[in-house]
Structure formats: structure tokens, C-alpha cells
Amino acid sequence: MSKKVLITGGAGYIGAHTVDALVRSGYTPIIVDDFRNSNPSVIQGLSKLIGFEPVFFKIDICDKKALKEVFTKHEINAVIHFAAFKAVGESVLEPLKYYQNNLIGLLNILECMEVFGVNEFVFSSSCTVYGEPDSIKEVNEKTPKQLPSSPYGYTKWMAEQIIADYAKAHSSFKVICLRYFNPIGAHPGGLIGELPIGKPNNLLPFITQTAIGKHSKLLVFGNDYPTIDGTCIRDYIHVMDLADAHIKAVEAFGNNSIGSCEYINVGTGKGTSVLQMIQAFEEVSGTKLPWEFAPRRPGDVIEIYANVDLAKSMLNWEVQFSYKDAIKDAWNWELSNQKKNR
């Protein structure tokens, strides 16, 4: 019988792409989402993509009773936990909202897993736990963690600690914390992609929305950083590759070399600056992007990219797509949304 995987936040950006990847790999997804940061249309797009309507529960994971019912109704074999708020700036303004949702949600999931004896857990962590790297910008999993600069960062940082403590106390439990770098792109089939609510905070959705005319121009935050062209450098990874890393993580639980609590970077291993992203967008889309420099955005890390050796050796995972592929798919997604909304 196919393994049942609970996906919290399965209607979200990374969650939905992972549901598709799970189905393609023969798993049965059980989706939990309350659409507070996603859109019901995602479930429709997903259904078209996977060829059936996935099992879906519209519940808030902070509602422990409702969450327990999902575990009662379905014999869950593994959990992939995405459901969390993720806007850095918003978390500074509304810290309680972030601690409440991101930490209570996690505690409820772990409690249900404990009660129902579910022992395989994949957690969405973030490269935010590394803070601003000192001199070496390529970080590996041994690079010391630093205290985060936002409540959002603290929720990921604390979540890793909570999970580690839980793993220590439960010998049959196994967890892989995937530390995401910057996910971008959309499904190449154009049926699912990122749907930011309100004005996007992240670079690529802002670029595609500006190019399609939703904003007058992109502001490039900072031009005087000590980098190749003065703008910040990130490791942009195609969401399809990131989704695939979750499948490899679920598969790895069957492997004896996996320890009880692993942390694995998920990036491409390459850094790209904001100006390089703009140039690549113009090249790939054939569209001129209006943009101008603006002051630095407070809290921005200057330069960071992943060392991905551990993902290769432990998960047998490697990226299949380049950042230009991701830009192309994100642009197609923006264009297909424009058609739908006409």
C-alpha cells in the first residue's frame, strides 16, 4: 500500500509542488491547509496536475483537536511540515502572530505524531539560521548557527531546537530539517506556482509582477554592498528541485545511515546577485524591466549560498534546473495567471 504523507501547508507554494512530486513518486498525500496564506484555487490546479482530487482538510494546525482528527482518520506514515508564516518584515511588526502560528503549530504536530506513533518528519527550515556568514559565504551544515535578526528567523531557529530535543527523547523518531535557500520558479506545466498575497516581498515575484504591469518599477535594495556588483547575493533554487529534495528525504528514512536528527542545506551551490537576476529575467522573457536603486533593506544578509555536498551524499539529490529555468517558469506562470484573470 502506498505510504501516506501528511503535508501541512500543502496548498502553499512549496507545499503544492511537493504534493505533485509525492504523487509522481507513488505516495498518497494528505493535505492540511487553512488558506490563511494560500488560495483554494491551488487545490484545483493541483487536482488537474495529479489527475485526481487529493485528500484535503481545511483546518488550522493550531487547532489541536482538528489536527488529531486527521491522524485518527488516516494512518499517517510520515509528515512534511510546511505550514508557517514566512515574511521577515511582517514578523518584526507582528511578532506574536509568528511565534503563535509557527511554534504552536509545530508543537501540535509533534504532539500528534507522539500520540499516534508517527516517527518520520521532514521540517521546512531556512538558511536564515546561518545569519550573515563571516568570511566564507558558502555555508555548510557545520557552519555555526547565529542568532537571527527577525522573529521569523527565531521561529525557525527555535523550531530546530524543539525538534532536536524531541528527537533526543524519542529513540524511534527520525527528522530531516531541510534548510532552504531561496526558492523561485513554478511548475513547468503552468498549473501551480507562487501566489503572493498582497505586494510580494520576494525578488522574483516582484520582478514578474512589475514586468506584467502590476507595479511601476522594481526597487533594488542597496547598490553599495561588498559584492561583485554592489547588490546582495542569494542561492536561488527552482521550486521543482526543492520539492524533489522532500521526496528524497522521505525515501532516506528507510536508510540506516540517516541519524535521528539531520540538517541538510537545499540550494544550488551558486550565488546570484540581484542585478544578475534582473539581467537573466530580461534575457529569458525578452521584456525590459523598469527598476531603480533604493536604500538598503534593513536586515538583509549581504551574501550567502549553500554548500550542497551533504544533500548529494545523504539524499542522493542534485538540482536538475538552473535559475534561468526557474525564471522562465515563473514568467510563464505570471503570463498564464494574467490570461486566467482577463
Binding-site ranges for ligand UFG (CB under 6 A): 86, 88, 126-128, 182, 201-203, 206, 218-221, 232, 234, 274, 297, 300-301
Residue closer to ligand UFG, measured from CB, 77 or 128: 128
C-alpha span between 274 and 229 (Å, rounded):
9
Q: Which of 299, 314, 306, 255 is nearest to 142 (CA)?
A: 306
CB of 220 to ligand UFG, least distance (A): 4
- Close Cβ partners of 227 (under 8 Å, ≥ 6 residues apart): 233, 273, 302, 303
CB of 195 to ligand UFG, least distance (A): 15
Is residue 183 within a helix (H) or strand (E), and if so which, with residue range?
strand 182-184
**Per the residue annotation, which of 13, 27, 152, 305 is the catalytic one?**
152
- Close Cβ partners of 271 (under 8 Å, ≥ 6 residues apart): 137, 233, 234, 235, 303, 304, 305
Residue closer to ligand UFG, measured from CB, 75 or 132: 132
CB of 171 to ligand UFG, least distance (A): 32
- Phi/psi for 153 (5° steps) reads -60, -40
CB of 38 to ligand UFG, least distance (A): 15
Tell me the DSSP string of 36-101.
SSS-THHHHHHHHHHTSPPEEE---TT-HHHHHHHHHHS---EEEE------HHHHHH-HHHHIII
Residue closer to ligand UFG, measured from CB, 10 or 153: 153
Residue closer to ligand UFG, measured from CB, 195 or 274: 274
Catalytic (active site) residue 152: yes
Residue closer to ligand UFG, measured from CB, 201 or 336: 201
CB of 297 to ligand UFG, least distance (A): 5
DSSP, collapsed to helix, strand or coil, labels residue 142 as coil
Under 8 Å between Cβ of 40 and 11: yes
CB of 269 to ligand UFG, least distance (A): 16
Q: Which residue is nearest to ligand UFG (CB)?
A: 232
Residue closer to ligand UFG, measured from CB, 22 or 127: 127
Residue closer to ligand UFG, measured from CB, 181 or 317: 181
Q: Which of 211, 196, 141, 182 is nearest to 301 (CA)?
A: 182
CB of 132 to ligand UFG, least distance (A): 9
DSSP, collapsed to helix, strand or coil, labels residue 184 as strand
Under 8 Å between Cβ of 9 and 30: no
- Close Cβ partners of 63 (under 8 Å, ≥ 6 residues apart): none
Is residue 110 within a helix (H) or strand (E), and if so which, with residue range?
helix 105-116
Task: Provide the annotated active-site residues.
Answer: 152
